[in-house]
Amino acid sequence: MLVRSVSGVIPTRVQPVLDEVRPLAEAFVAAGQPLYLVGGIVRDLLLGKVRPDGADIDLTTPARPEEIKKLVAPLADAVWNQGERFGTIGCRIAGRDYEITTFRAESYDPASRKPEVSFGDEIEVDLARRDFTVNAMALAVPEPELVDPHGGAADLAAKVLRTPLDPDVSFSDDPLRMLRAARFIAGYGLEPAPELVESVRRNAERLEIVSAERIRDELDKLLVTDDPSAGLWFVVDTGLADHFLPELPAMRLEQDPIHHHKDVLAHTFAVVAKTRPERIVRLAALLHDVGKPRTRSFGDGGVTFHHHEVVGARMARDRMQALRYSNEDVDAVRQLVYLHLRFHTYKMGWTDAAVRRFVRDAGDLLPELIELTRCDCTTRNQRKAATLSKRMDELEERIAELREREAIDAIRPDLDGKQVMDHLGVGPGRHVGEALAHLLDLRMEEGPLGEEEALRRLDAWWAERADT
């Protein structure tokens, strides 16, 4: 069963959305103002893509903001107008958030990303200013009619990514669209049109006028697609990465040019694709080998990258700070990059103390570190891959065994500061911190000591200090 529109055939799966927006749509139509679903919701409905429960719904209308507020007020539980100067009024109706925007026909200053907003009266003009044809479709409500002046539905079917206008115009208007293209290439399996690719290459440097925060947010959206690989290759091959993440093209070098092993960049993208689509572990996967170009050296044994995890941790921190990531995000990714090689010393045999230190250093990031370490193995050598996997299984079993015996997820000295001061008869000071550090080292090396043994060891340590 299909719902037919003036412009074509609309799938029946659209009906629940039509029913949901009907009261709002009827209020607008009764006032002589058409109302359209627009943007991502139209694209996803045509694809049959399941939208998250409670996802916002975007609509557009020729009505001006003041009239929009009047029309939604009798229906809405809440109304907000933070975007009113751009023509957008937000409201909540029956638990769903809507953003309703007046048709726009804005122009841009070539030296800025700030648009000069002007309101329009034609849906076709509004759609022409949107980023890609697959997003430049509107669906009239409550009676469905697809408005698709740029062939977005056909492009969806053909899996082609194009801009409604000349791409040079579109990307000049908002250079972030070039990076957004990478997300649609990866997330929707779209092939960029040749003219789009060439335009990005010509205009890549314009990305530099876009704020770091907007670039960061778009990068995050790309990274959490199911497989970001195609989008990541796009940003490198077009030169976009040179302007916000130059560490990526710098990794386009062979791990071992003698044996022609997979280059560092190809390996990196493979690791990213193997990790789960979660922001922090994906960022760590993207940056885990950024230190290799700076540490590559050649010797009798071939190519080496000594201490690339140390150099890479600093580089990851600097790049993420430049992209305005939070301190928490920076610290997490830096630590994962720094620790991602720690596991490989396990083949030499780890004591319980080494396992404890591994868990302590990873902290709350232990699951992410284990996943990154597993995914870092992209070798085609099945025997090597099996060996590494078995070794990681053994380490996880060791961690589980220690967890059963000890509270290794929150390793602390067997005594606290008050106990140390009371026992030694001293007040707060440097020596208390030194005593706790000594007790923590003992805890790491030997496991739980118990209070009595910890006090005995404290006395011995204190006596040695007195002798020196």
Average pLDDT, the chain: 87
Burial of residue 460 (number of CB atoms within 10 Å: 0-12, 13-18, 19+): exposed
Residue 6's pLDDT is 40
Tell me the range of 160-174, 359-373, 424-438 where mean pLDDT is highest: 160-174
Among 347, 346, 362, 359, which Cα is nearest to 444's? Answer: 359
Burial of residue 179 (number of CB atoms within 10 Å: 0-12, 13-18, 19+): buried
The yes-or-no verdict on residue 254 having pLDDT over 80 is: no
Among 15, 26, 101, which Cα is nearest to 56's? Answer: 101
The percent of the chain in helix, strand and coil, each rounded to the nearest 5, is 60, 10, 30
Q: Mean pLDDT over residues 169-175, rounded?
A: 93
Label residue 352 by pLDDT band (50, 70, 90): confident
Choosing among 1.10.8, 1.10.3470, 1.10.1740, 1.10.3210, the CATH entry for 245-409 is: 1.10.3210
Place of tokens 């990531």: 325
Residue 377's pLDDT is 85
Where b means 16+ CB within 10 Å and e means fewer, 113-124 reads eeeeeebbeebe
The yes-or-no verdict on residue 257 having pLDDT over 80 is: no
Helix ranges, 296-381 (H): 308-322, 327-339, 352-362, 366-375
Between CA 176 and CA 114 the distance in angstroms is 12
Q: What is the pTM of this model?
A: 0.82
Q: Mean pLDDT over residues 207-221, rounded?
A: 97
Among 122, 20, 27, which Cα is nearest to 69's? Answer: 27
Q: Mean pLDDT over residues 92-102, rounded?
A: 93
Q: Does domain 2-158 have CATH number 3.30.460.10?
A: yes
Q: Using the Cα atoms of residue 140, residue 96, residue 41 and residue 203 in order, give the sign of their dihedral.
A: positive
Query: Taking the CB of residue 432, how many other CB atoms lie within 10 A of it?
Result: 16
DSSP letter string, 56-80? -EEEEESS-HHHHHHHHTTT-SEEE
Query: Taking the CB of residue 385, how many other CB atoms lie within 10 A of it?
Result: 13
Residue 401's pLDDT is 84
First to last CA, the chain: 90
Pairing of strands 115-116, 107-108: antiparallel
In angstroms, the Cα distances linking 442 to 68, 109, 463 are 68, 64, 17
DSSP letter string, 429-460? SHHHHHHHHHHHHHHHHH----HHHHHHHHHH
The yes-or-no verdict on residue 23 having pLDDT over 80 is: yes
Between CA 79 and CA 370 the distance in angstroms is 46
Residue 4's pLDDT is 38
The residue type of 10 is I
Task: Provide the token pair at 271.
Answer: 């690791």
The yes-or-no verdict on residue 5 having pLDDT over 50 is: no
The yes-or-no verdict on residue 161 having pLDDT over 90 is: yes
Label residue 465 by pLDDT band (50, 70, 90): confident
In angstroms, the Cα distances linking 208 to 163, 183, 326, 356, 378 are 21, 19, 21, 45, 34
The residue with greater pLDDT, 145 or 406, is 145
Residue 290's pLDDT is 95
Task: Provide the token pair at 227.
Answer: 């497989």
Residue 87's pLDDT is 92
In angstroms, the Cα distances linking 299 to 247, 253, 258, 292, 294 are 24, 17, 12, 15, 16
Label residue 417 by pLDDT band (50, 70, 90): confident
Among 101, 76, 72, 70, which Cα is nearest to 88's? Answer: 101
For 284-297, how does the pLDDT look when each residue is reduced to its tens digit (9 = 90+)? 999 999 999 888 87
Between CA 13 and CA 50 the distance in angstroms is 10
Give the list of residues 6+ apart from residue 361 with CB closer than 8 angstroms, or none.
335, 339, 342
**106-110, 316-320, 436-440 — which is least confidently predicted?**
106-110
